[in-house]
Amino acid sequence: MKRFLRIAARISTWMDNVGGVILVLMMLLTVIDVIMRLCGRPIIGTYELVAVAGAMVIAFAVPQTTYENGHIGVDILVEGRSKLVKDVLFVVTKLFGIALFLALSWFLYKRGNHLLKEGDVSHTLQIPAYPGAYAMAFCFFIESFVLLAEIPKRFYREAKHG
């Protein structure tokens, strides 16, 4: 159990760090582009790169945000309910989340295959589109893994702290 939770923590932390590096690079590119525009020499394709980087930052941050319980929760459904009802709702919502992110991961994997087969590229820089789809598919697959880890984490913590 501890090993499973440790793996989920390490993977989500690693992914969050990757997202952080992408965010810093995105900000540097934007600042350099603004400076270069003032000199009359903008960086070609900045908009494309920042758009893709923004999607990657979000996708790579989702698992760590879930692991840290950083998402917004609506407690109105569970307020005043018994522990059993709260636990059942917790498990059901995690299972729905797992199903959703597995479906998104599968769709993005299939989309990546399609983009690779068709040779789709960005308009300005001609960057292949399929790596982004594969990266997001990976992120959402890991998100479903982290959501799965949330279930035993909750009950392990409760059993440990009584």
- For 128, the domain range is 2-161
Render the chain in DSSP notation, one character per residue: -HHHHHHHHHHHHHHHHHHHHHHHHHHHHHHHHHHHHHTT-PPTTHHHHHHHHHHHHHHHHHHHHHHTT-S---GGGTTT--HHHHHHHHHHHHHHHHHHHHHHHHHHHHHHHHHHHHT-B-TTT--BSHHHHHHHHHHHHHHHHHHHHHHHHHHHHHHHH-
Q: Please tell me the total count of domains within the chain.
A: 1
What pLDDT is stored for residue 20 in this prediction?
A: 97
pLDDT by residue (tens digit) across 16-63? 999 999 999 999 999 999 999 999 999 999 999 999 999 999 999 999
pLDDT by residue (tens digit) across 100-116? 999 999 999 999 999 99
Of all residues in the chain, what percent carry a pLDDT higher than 90? 77
